[in-house]
Amino acid sequence: MSSFTTADVPSLSGRTVVVTGASGGVGRVTATVLAAKGARVILAVRSEEKGHAAAATMDGDTEVRRLDLADLSSVRAFAESLTEPIDVLINNAGISIPPLERTADGFESQFGTNHLGHFALTNLLLPQVRDRVVIIGSLAHLIGRIDFTDLNWHRRRYRPYPAYGQSKLANHLTAHELQRRLSSVGSSVISVVAHPGIATTNLMNVEGRGLRYRIERSVIHTIAQPAEAGALPSIYAAVAEIPGGSSIGPSRLMGLRGAPAPAKRAIKTHRSDDARRLWKESERLTGTVFPFDTDQPRAASGR
């Protein structure tokens, strides 16, 4: 049984970490711990006001920069402004179960924010990454299905839960395909995926009326662990000596809570054909591509 805690995080002096969605919830806890351990942490946040408020509570070297993952022009501006080497990129930000909304580029908001925004950010920053990319998934990927005929819910009747599941399955497939591509060019950079189980963050604040919503709230608050515990898989994935392609999650109650440990991956996340197809479609939608020539091995950058 895993017993990893923040006390097990080594010194991160001299390392630079980017954490998206670092102004609240799991992202804020992750940024706080890594900064306290000596890393220079860049808080990539949609609201700079909230980002500065969060940074003011953290010990260590932090910097706040604006990033709106629901707007590809913001993603590009952020990437262009960040020219220094990055040791760890943690794709943490996300939205959960909103009514039907569209991003600045016309994508369904969950698919556009949780998947496409991070997909573009990763491709744009990857030449600067020296160690790893951590993609934050969710147990919701288990209910996810990628509908390649209507990724952005233009023809289907929009349903928030399936849309969220699709976006999180996309995260897992992307982590799988990113590792395949990194390995194919001989890179020492790794791609890993982590999920927090069920944590009491604002993503779990499901709004609604009626018995169904009261039951959901009751179940969530009975099972959920605090954000401090929900962040441990992200932190572990960012600092532990683990192989590329690893999946990390809570070790108890079927992955719902507990200390972080290697987690089993659903069969659907191993479907390489789906992962490659999603990658190509995501490239088309975002106008970003894997930045290395897959025919020419990339020199190892070292860790």
Catalytic positions, written as ranges? 164
- Three-class secondary structure of residue 87 per DSSP: strand
Burial class (CB in 10 A: 0-12, 13-18, 19+), 118: buried
Burial class (CB in 10 A: 0-12, 13-18, 19+), 288: buried
Length of the chain: 303
Single-letter code of the amino acid located at 20: T
CB distance 28 to 227 below 8 Å: yes
Beta pairing class for 247-252 and 257-262: antiparallel
Nearest CA among 181, 179, 197 for reference residue 248: 197
CB distance 136 to 171 below 8 Å: yes
Cα–Cα distance measured from residue 5 to residue 232, given in angstroms and rounded to the nearest whole number: 7
